Amino acid sequence: MIELENVAYSYGGGELLSDVSLELSSGSFHFLTGPSGAGKTTFLKLCYGALIPTAGQVRLFGGDVRDMGRDDIALMRRRIGVVHQDCQFLDHMPVADNVALPLMVSGHEDADQIENLRELMGWVGLNARADALPPELSGGERQRAALARAVIMSPDVVLADEPTGNIDWEMSQRLLQLLIELNRMGKTIMIATHDLNLIRAAKSQVEARVLRISQRRVQLAGAAL
């Protein structure tokens, strides 16, 4: 699905990530941890083509990101659901429409999907806030909406950047459950998080691997957790 080969990335100063080689295979479940500023968000951006590696190669669904045209990138993003750390929404449209946005822009908005949307909004506990505008939501509500938007297209891969940063334990369990369900349906999941409890809770239910960024490398953490 997503392959990195000797990838390095630098924003202009020194290299933030060096010599990263990794393959996210179909149906795998990964956590990504590391101190703040280590490069978790940067790593995820490399995984969905928002950043082009300064060295090495990133292949998404078999295609090298460097060779992808703008339309290829757009089509590829429909297959990768992303929960952004700073959940980005269209502030002039209600939450429900924001969640349905991927359907809208890909022309898949039909009755089936509308039903899907209602169910999904219920799952993340946002039915009552469906008509609110994004700026009117709490931080946690925004994150739940972002997760709903990431999964609405039923993508092959879900990349979630701190999806539970602002929400209580019960709700984060609920979101985790959603991601685990998706993983059981064969989706590839990667969650960047600081929350060790979340990782532990997941490990009891799925076979999850933990990647840690330290000293510019992305390494598989032992089973120590």
Partner 1 sequence: MVLRWLKRLVVLLLGDTQADRVVPPAGYTARLSLFSAAAMSFLAVFAMAMSLATGRLADRWGAELARTSTLRISAPPEQMAAQTEAALRVLETTPGVKRARPLSDEEQRDLLAPWFGPDLPVESLPIPRLIEIIETDDGYDAAGLRLRLSAEAPGAVLDDHTRWRRPLIAAAGALRTLGWVSILLIAGTVAAMITLAANAALAANAQVIAVLRLVGARDAYIAGAFVRRFTQRALAGASVGTVLGMGAIAMMPRADVAGGFLTGLGFQGLHWFWPLLIPPAAAAVAYVATRAAARRTLRELP
Q: Which residues bind ligand ATP (CB under 6 A)?
A: 11, 16, 34, 36-42, 85
Q: Residue 36 touches which of ligand ATP, Mg ion, partner 1, none (CB < 5 to 8 A by kind)? A: ligand ATP
Distance CA 137, CA 128 (A): 11
Integer angstrom CA distances of residue 70 from 9, 24, 175, 192: 21, 23, 32, 26
* Whether 153 contacts 105, CB under 8 Å: no
Residues 6+ apart with CB under 8 A from 22: 3, 4, 211, 218
Q: How far apart are CA 84 and CA 134, in angstroms?
A: 14
- 12 sits near partner 1 (criterion: CB under 8 A): no
Q: Rule CB under 8 A: which of 64-93 touch partner 1?
A: 70-71, 74-78, 82, 84, 88-93
Select the binding partner of residue 196 from Mg ion, ligand ATP, partner 1, none (C-beta < 5 to 8 A, by kind): none
The reply to whether 128 sits near partner 1 by the rule CB under 8 A is: no
Residues of this chain that interact with partner 1 (CB under 8 A) are 50, 70-71, 74-78, 82, 84, 88-93, 97, 101-102, 104-106, 109, 149, 153
